[in-house]
């Protein structure tokens, strides 16, 4: 357990103030004891995966930030099914499956993060999501009660799951159903990585897509169309390569990112009458807080465009 741990160390954007306590339990007994203590003393608990889809506020997060990367980190194949812990790296799972001649997870190739984060977000691409493959998810609530939810019960949708509406439940492990696919090779992973390197600003810290794509369109296209591509506030910039990515070019704060999001969203709303919905999560804040923060503030458009 670390007190005052800077969360910037644990997010792919490299932004975020301290957590009161940062805990990586190594046994389920320790995890349950921690949850029980937090409940007894009324301490908030927040779950973090690899931090690849979150914006952590500059003021940090009160209470306990918990990661399962040391605890639920096993992966067991049986026939065409795999049972995998929430702390397991998604990329490693995709690779191992392909090595075993099992297909179904190819749409997830190149997506960073843990299995738990992927299930919470229903991570994927237009070709498919992790939810498509889920048989069940074992969850633990803050009282230490366990439940097993089927795919239907998980309420998966575009970059969402039931867990987003009903927070306070930790994904412990999941079972996924794959399929025999001996012809799928590691070339596929190389091609996916090359495609991402070409189209995404991977040389800068980022958190993937900032906004969800609206039906029938792309958030990146809309942000580019309003001239916000390349716009910078402090150390944050709307990527000149992909307008739905915000990159940390050095020393960016969460406030810089929020301001850029507010500007881009405001311009798109003004021009297209459409309100972009954030894909990234404001870590440690109740659902809806990010949208409210983006709706606040003046209507002016700050930021600077590169020459
Ligand atoms: C370069 C880049 C490219 C990306 N491309 C894609 C893409 O193509 N498709 C896509 O869908 N996403 C993409 N993402 C976003 C991100 O990688 C995924 O959403 C990923 O699944 C998040 O996993 P994580 O472990 O990092 O979760 P985190 O960012 O740590 O957490 C995300 C949310 O999940 C919750 N959470 C995490 N673990 C658990 C758990 N065990 N139990 C309960 N809740 C939990 C957190 O509280 C948080 O609200 C990309 C990100 C980057 C940086």
The count of domains in the chain is 3
Distances (CA, A) of 150 to 28, 128, 131, 136: 22, 18, 10, 4
pLDDT value of residue 109: 94
Choice from 14, 74, 112, 189 to test ligand 1 binding pocket (greatest atom count within 8 A of CB): 112
User: Which of 52, 97, 161, 209 is labelled catalytic?
Assistant: 209
Q: What CATH number is associated with residue 28?
A: 3.30.43.10
Neighbour tally for 96: CB within 10 Å: 16
Residues 172 and 210 in one domain: no
d(CA 141, CA 39): 11
Ligand 1 atom closest to Cα of 114? 25
Clarify whether 185 is annotated catalytic: no
pLDDT value of residue 298: 52
Domain that holds residue 274: 203-295
Cα of 306 vs centre of ligand 1, distance in Å, is: 30
Clarify whether 209 is annotated catalytic: yes
Residues 262 and 213 in one domain: yes
Clarify whether 279 is annotated catalytic: yes
pLDDT value of residue 188: 84
Ligand 1 atom closest to Cα of 54? 29
Helix (H, G, I), strand (E, B) or coil at 132: helix
pLDDT value of residue 299: 47
Residues 94 and 137 in one domain: yes
Residues 169 and 142 in one domain: yes
Residues 108 and 148 in one domain: yes
Residues 279 and 215 in one domain: yes
Choice from 71, 117, 149 to test ligand 1 binding pocket (greatest atom count within 8 A of CB): 117
Neighbour tally for 144: CB within 10 Å: 15
Q: pLDDT of the chain along its 307 residues, tens only?
A: 789 999 999 999 999 999 999 999 999 999 999 999 999 999 999 999 999 999 999 999 999 999 999 999 999 999 999 999 999 999 999 999 999 999 999 999 999 999 999 999 999 999 999 999 999 999 999 998 999 999 999 999 999 999 999 889 999 999 999 999 877 777 888 899 999 999 999 999 999 999 999 999 999 999 999 999 999 999 999 999 999 999 999 999 999 999 999 999 999 999 999 999 999 999 999 888 999 999 986 544 567 776 6
Start-end of H helices in the chain:
28-41, 90-99, 115-121, 162-165, 187-199, 219-225, 254-272, 289-295
Boundary (domain end) residue, out of 33, 66, 99: 66
d(CA 42, CA 35): 10
Q: pTM for this one?
A: 0.96
d(CA 99, CA 105): 12
d(CA 40, CA 4): 21
Query: Which residue is closest in CA terms to ligand 1's atom 21?
Result: 118
């Amino acid at each position: 357990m670390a007190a005052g741990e800077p969360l910037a160390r644990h997010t792919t954007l490299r932004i975020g103030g301290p957590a009161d306590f940062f805990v990586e339990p190594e046994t389920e007994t320790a995890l349950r004891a921690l949850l029980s203590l937090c409940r007894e003393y009324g301490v908030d608990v927040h779950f973090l995966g690899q931090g690849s889809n979150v914006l952590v506020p500059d003021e940090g997060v009160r209470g306990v930030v918990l990661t399962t990367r040391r605890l639920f980190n096993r992966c067991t194949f049986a026939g065409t099914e795999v049972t995998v812990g929430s702390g397991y790296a998604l990329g490693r799972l995709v690779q191992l499956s392909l090595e075993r001649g099992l297909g179904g997870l190819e749409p997830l190739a190149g997506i960073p993060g843990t299995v738990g984060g992927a299930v919470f977000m229903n991570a994927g691409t237009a070709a498919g999501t992790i939810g498509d493959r889920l048989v069940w998810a074992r969850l633990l609530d803050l009282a230490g009660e366990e439940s097993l939810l089927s795919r239907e019960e998980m309420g998966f949708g575009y970059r969402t799951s039931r867990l987003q509406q009903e927070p306070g439940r930790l994904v412990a492990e999941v079972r996924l159903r794959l399929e025999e696919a001996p012809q799928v090779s590691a070339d596929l992973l190389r091609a996916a990585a090359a495609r991402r390197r070409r189209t995404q600003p991977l040389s800068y810290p980022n958190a993937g897509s900032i906004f969800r794509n609206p039906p029938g369109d792309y958030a990146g296209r809309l942000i580019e169309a309003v001239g916000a591509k390349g716009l910078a506030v402090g150390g944050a910039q709307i990527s000149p390569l992909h307008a739905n990515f915000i990159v940390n070019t050095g020393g960016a704060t969460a406030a810089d990112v929020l301001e850029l999001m507010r500007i881009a969203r405001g311009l798109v709303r003004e021009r297209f009458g459409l309100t972009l919905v954030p894909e990234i999560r404001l870590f440690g804040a109740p659902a809806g807080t990010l949208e409210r923060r983006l709706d606040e503030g003046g209507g002016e458009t700050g930021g600077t465009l590169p020459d």
